[in-house]
Structure 1
Amino acid sequence: MARPRTAAGRARRVHERLALEYPGTAVELCELNHTNPFELLAATILSAQCTDARVNMVTPTLFARYPDAEALAHAEPLEVEEIIRSTGFYKNKTKSLIGMANALLDRFGGEVPTAMSDWVTVPGVGRKTANVVRSVAQGLPGLPVDTHVLRLAHRLELTEETDPVKVELELNPMVPAAERGQFSLRVILHGRRVCSARKPACGTCTLADFCPSAGLFA
């Protein structure tokens, strides 16, 4: 099969290959345990500088104690800090969680918003977090750009941009809107399992036959 000559062509090939490697819906591909948009929002805030596995260890207790925005908005910060301490940066994350809950309660009737313009006004929430919840829990277009997506987008020469928002906006037209979340989640999984930051496993990578960076890390 001929190597794609353009970034858009490579993105399409990546999308096809990784869909075979990591099948499933966005909900199935997401490794943060949740049952609704509010839980996924809180879990995503906790996932900053922390593994999904660690977040999944603390969220059952957090959600049992604070099941919705109203409960979390009135939480005692020290109690939240104690629950989430093991995720790191727990003081800042507690402020973000309680601030997020108060914003939902004050401005959106306790519900998680859907419009990006509303999302980015919520404390602790940027486009990446918004796109995670939009694409996974709300069935809306969203392409989260984290460190894995950023790294693989550069190695695959899908973009030269370094700002996550600019990367998202450049990748968006390359992927069907309804599949952007799945694309991102698959790239994230591939970045974690195969195309790591320090020692990518190019020899076993399903993208190696057309990846411009294949073999450069031997």
Structure 2
Amino acid sequence: MNRKAFGKLIAALRKEHFDQEDNRLTQAMLAERAQKLDPLSPLNEIIIGKIERGERAILDDQTLLSLADTLELSMGERREFYLAATGLDDEQIHATKKTAEEILATVIQMLTDIQLPALLLDPYLDVIAINDILLNLYQTSQIDLYSRMDQPAGFNLLGFIFSADFEPQRQLLGQQQWRNFAVGNVIYFRRTTLRYRTTKYFTALIK
């Protein structure tokens, strides 16, 4: 992720936070929060502005840590955040000589062979592939899945587990187990989507 893209990500993460009057945080407000958390924080309104505009080429450890703390990123989100800050793109981070088609074929074969419930997700938690064991576990048929094809984000895992289609499974889980299951998936979603918060598709998903 280049510096301009990283800057847009910081702006998007900032705007996920609100003050007591339900206004999105401004750069000045974020700087004020950073100083309250750590009086030695290098962040101020000018620096935050430069970062968001992609004008700050060097981001030192203390600046990144202060941003992560002030933006209240979870452990999983921090991992993605620091990866984004390296300036590398996905192809550089996950270097491979195989084509996307070859990788997909290998993973689908793994889903077929594995004797456990399993599925393949993209960073938005859209389901790419799912094995029969998991379909049976959720008492879901391929016909049920096809009926969701015309729905917006119909194959999104979060959309599915919070939909009416998943109600029988929610009842089987029980209140506490369902809560743990739902919260775990939301936390995972926040981690995997962190580097994609500026995309139109992410915005559409959370509306």
With normalisation by structure 1, the TM-score equals 0.30
Q: Highest CA radius of gyration, 1 or 2?
A: 2
TM-score by length of structure 2 reads 0.31
